[in-house]
Homo-oligomer: A and B are copies of this chain.
Amino acid sequence: LDQEAKQAAELHQAQLTKPPGSLGMLESLVVDLAAMQGTVFPRCDNVHISIFAADHGVACQGVSAFPQDVTAQMVLNFAQGGAAVAVLAKQMGANFEVINLGTVKPTMHPGIINQIIAEQSGDISQTAAMTEEQLLQGLQAGKQAVDRAIALKSKLFIAGEMGIANTTSATALLASLLELNAEDVTGPGTGVSGSRLEHKASIVAQALTLHQGINDPFELLRCLGGFEIVAMCGAYIRAAEKGLPVLVDGFISSASALLACKVNPEVRKWLLFGHCSAEPFHSKVLQELDVEPILMMGMRLGEGSGAAMAVSILRAACELHSSMATFSDAGVSNSGE
A93 within 8 A of B: no
- Report the bound CA distance from A312 to B314 in whole Å: 11
Complex CA–CA separation, A125 to B64 (angstroms): 62
How many subunits of this chain does the assembly comprise? Answer: 2
The answer to whether A215 has its CB under 8 Å from any CB of chain B is no
Structural contact, B19 and A84, CB atoms closer than 8 A: no
Give the residues from 285 to 304 in chain A that come closer than 8 angstroms, CB to CB, to chain B: 294-301
A214 interfacial by beta-carbon distance below 8 Å: no
Candidate in A18, A24, A83, A337 with the most chain B CB atoms within 10 angstroms: A24
In the complex formed, the residue of B with least CB distance to A64 is B335
- How many whole Å from A247's CB to the nearest CB in chain B? 15
Hey, what's the 0/1 contact readout for A1-25 against B, CB within 8 Å counting as 1? 0000000000000001111111111
Main secondary structure of the interface of A (DSSP, over half): loop
What are some 19 contacts across the A-B interface (CB < 8 A)?
A16-B84, A19-B190, A19-B300, A22-B301, A26-B299, A26-B309, A67-B333, A73-B332, A77-B332, A81-B325, A82-B323, A83-B324, A84-B324, A88-B316, A90-B323, A294-B297, A309-B316, A312-B313, A312-B316
**Contact (Cβ within 8 A) A21 B191:** yes
Residues from chain B with a CB closer than 8 A to the CB of A332 are 70, 73-74, 77
Q: Tell me if A301 and B23 are in contact (CB < 8 A).
A: yes
